[in-house]
Amino acid sequence: MQHLQEICQDNEHPYQELALVCLDNLQRSINFGGRRNVPSHVEMEAVLTGKTSQRIPIQLPGGVEFPVKIRSFSVTVDVVTELCENMEIVEFTEVKEFSLIATRFQDGMVRPLHPEDYLFDFLLDDGSISLSFRRVLWEKPLSFRNELFVDFHYQQLLEEYLHGKIIIPHYAGGTSSVQQIAELTALQHLAQGLKSQLSLPELKEYLPLQDGLASKAEEIQLLCHDQLAAMQSLSPEDAKIRFIESLRTLPLFGSNTFLAKKVSQHGCPSPCLISVNQEGVRFLHPKTQVLVFQIALAQVQAMRTIRPKKAGKVPGVEIQYGNAVKPQKILIHLQQAKEFCHILALTVEMLVQSSVTSSESNYQ
């Protein structure tokens, strides 16, 4: 390091710029550990010819691509910080609630990256891995700082809502849930800058994947017409904010939700809805969202994925929780076992780091 520092301080040295890069990379190796994989032949050739960075498209919610310059020793937290700055998010505790997600095209495998992961350990030369950017934790209150902040959160929540990951609970009689779905439908329409009344085929594009909605489409359409008439003055951005605020009232808001085929815990239904957030791992009835079982994040001791024993069977995740000396175990069978395991590990890691930061702040 001393040798590199001396070159960096010598403005006349022909390798000053290269020494700066080497010094920065060495410092990152000390801070985050070394690269997981040996750099590929293509990457090594690029570095040796002075090309130490590459522009990589990061997909934001809604399909918008955001090009980011990534260097050989760029770690996840570097890119996450840069993307958050564009949304005017600068507080580190809030930045840590976001993550990059690596997706493999071949089999659709999804893996959230940890803050210290080197991006080029995941980006392959054949372009078979894509990166997307999402909010994983929702502990900090939302403050709608700029247009990108609003659109980012709207598009992520819209995707989760339409795919049935944020479910409208069935209230007694069903009127309240239908009314809320009609309001959310109208807000989606207004968010696109449209103010016209909706036909049934148009309306169905705004409905989430949720049991029983198809039979109530005409009722939702009538209520939606009333909502559109009452909210004609809303701008697209205001409609997006109101959509977000409406979803914030729902029980599964801010959760990473999965549908498990089977859970080993007695009393858990099959299939079982599982949500992961800062409160813990919650096991819910898929239709009523009634809580059946819960594991607090602080109780999670270890976890691992389990490959299916036979072809066509669903993989699993084993969680050890409770007493560290004699932990209890629970086995969850679900298709997205790898994604679930990484999301849970990342959530636990974020909670621990947040607790340490909070304790240090209180001590000071």
Q: Is residue 208 part of a domain?
A: yes
Decide if 45 is inside a domain. Answer: yes
Cα separation, 142 vs 244, in Å, equals 10
For 50-108, write each residue's pLDDT tens digit.
Answer: 777 888 999 999 999 999 988 878 899 999 999 999 999 999 889 999 999 999 888 88
Is the distance from CB of 257 to CB of 274 less than 8 angstroms?
Answer: yes
Does 211 share its domain with 228?
yes
Q: What's the CA angle centered on 192, arms 186 and 195, to 5 degrees?
A: 55
Q: Is 140 a member of any domain? A: no
- Tell me the two tokens of residue 293: 């079982």
- Asked if residue 118 and residue 230 are part of one domain, the reply reads no
- Tell me, what's the pLDDT at 362? 46
Residue 204 sits in the same domain as residue 277 = no
CATH of the domain at 37: 3.10.20.90
Q: Token digits for 123?
A: 């980006």
What pLDDT does residue 361 have? Answer: 45
* CATH assignment at residue 297: 2.30.29.30
Instruction: Give how far Cα 278 sits from Cα of 150, 256, 305, 339, 349, Å.
Output: 23, 10, 21, 17, 11
Per-residue pLDDT 10s for the chain (364 aa) are 999 999 999 999 999 988 998 898 898 888 888 888 888 888 888 878 877 788 899 999 999 999 998 887 889 999 999 999 999 999 988 999 999 999 988 888 888 898 889 998 888 877 789 999 999 989 898 989 899 999 999 999 999 999 988 888 765 444 568 899 999 999 999 999 999 999 999 999 999 987 777 788 899 999 999 999 999 999 999 999 999 999 998 888 989 999 999 999 999 999 999 999 888 999 999 887 889 999 999 999 999 999 988 887 899 999 999 998 899 999 999 999 989 998 998 888 877 766 655 444 444 4
In terms of domains, do 125 and 13 share one? yes
Distance CA 168, CA 246 (A): 11
The pLDDT assigned to 364 comes to: 43
The answer to whether residues 11 and 129 belong to one domain is yes
Residue 201 tokens, joined:
């085929």
In a domain, 159, yes or no: no
**What pLDDT is stored for residue 355 in this prediction?**
60
What are the b/e assignments for 56-80, b being 16+ CB within 10 Å?
A: bebbbbeeeebebebbbbbbbbbbb
Q: What is the pLDDT of residues 260-281, one digit of tens each?
A: 999 999 999 999 999 998 889 9
Residue 158 included in any domain: no
Q: Which of 247, 280, 311 is the last residue of a domain?
A: 247
Structural domain contains residue 143: no
Nearest to 30 by CA among 70, 75, 71, 96: 75
What is the pTM for the complete model shown? 0.86
Mark whether 12 and 104 lie in a shared domain.
yes
Any domain includes 362: no
Number of domains the chain is built from:
3
Q: Are residues 10 and 112 in the same domain?
A: yes
pLDDT of residue 41: 85
Pair 195, 287 in one domain: no
d(CA 62, CA 159): 8
pLDDT in tens, 98-112: 999 999 888 888 888
What range defines the domain where residue 120 resides? 2-135
